[in-house]
Amino acid sequence: MTIPTQDSLAGFIASTPEVSFTERGETRVHYRVGVEHWRREDDGSFTKLDSSFHDLLLSGRTAERAANIFRKGDTFVAHGQVENYPMERDGHANPRAVFVARRIGHDLARTRYTVDRRPAHDVDASPGVHQAEQTPQTARTDNGAGPPASAPSSRSRTAGAEHAPTISR
């Protein structure tokens, strides 16, 4: 039996999340993400090159959790696939590559965190993303330094962190 694999993307969160909802009420979160690039030199050292920036899209419960946990500057590893979406700019529809992530987590090699081993449905019952009436809208979140004290943390909380976004439908 072959090992099932998917495309992956490792980078850093470069924007605050843009939260929106589908017509069916499913949560969608869009991030602008950066990917660092390095060049190996003949002497074995590495030279940092300019980062590239891309779109990352999450949906459903994963999107809700990501909106609460990830902050600008966090490093992540995600898996999913690249899809092309038509984006209209200056009256022309141009396809734009978007990484649609099925799963995402903080990068273990670059992030300190603690693990909460309760099943996700137990965590979902705790405060964090709040859902209200079914009114479609788009919300932008603030740039907090970490998750709120009431939300399960996947990393160490820093003093002065702002509250997680409230997601309303």
- Please give the pLDDT value at position 123: 58
What is the C-alpha separation between 91 and 169, in angstroms, rounded?
Answer: 30
Measured CA to CA, the distance from residue 136 to residue 33 in angstroms comes to: 25
Q: How far apart are CA 75 and CA 51, in angstroms?
A: 13
What is the pLDDT at residue 124?
56
Residue 92: its pLDDT value, please?
A: 83
Q: What is the pTM of this model?
A: 0.67
- 125 sits in the region (left: phi over 0; alpha: psi -120 to 50; else beta) called alpha
pLDDT in tens, the chain (169 residues): 999 898 999 999 999 999 999 999 999 999 999 999 999 999 999 999 999 999 999 999 999 999 999 999 999 999 999 999 887 778 888 889 999 999 999 999 898 888 889 987 765 544 444 443 333 333 333 333 333 333 333 333 333 334 344 444 4
pLDDT of residue 121: 72
Which residues, in sequence order, are CB contacts of 151 under 8 Å at separation 6+? 68, 69, 126, 127, 128, 164
- CATH numbers and ranges of domains, the chain: 7-140 (2.40.50.140)
Rounded to an integer, what is the distance from CA 113 to the centroid of its chain?
Answer: 16
Question: DSSP string covering 85-147, please?
Answer: EEEEETTEEEEEEEEEEEEEEE-TTT-------S-HHHHHTSSSS---SS----EE----SS-
| pLDDT score, position 98 | 96
| Separation of alpha carbons 76 and 56, rounded Å | 11
pLDDT for position 15: 96
**pLDDT in the model for residue 122:** 66
What pLDDT is recorded for position 142?
37
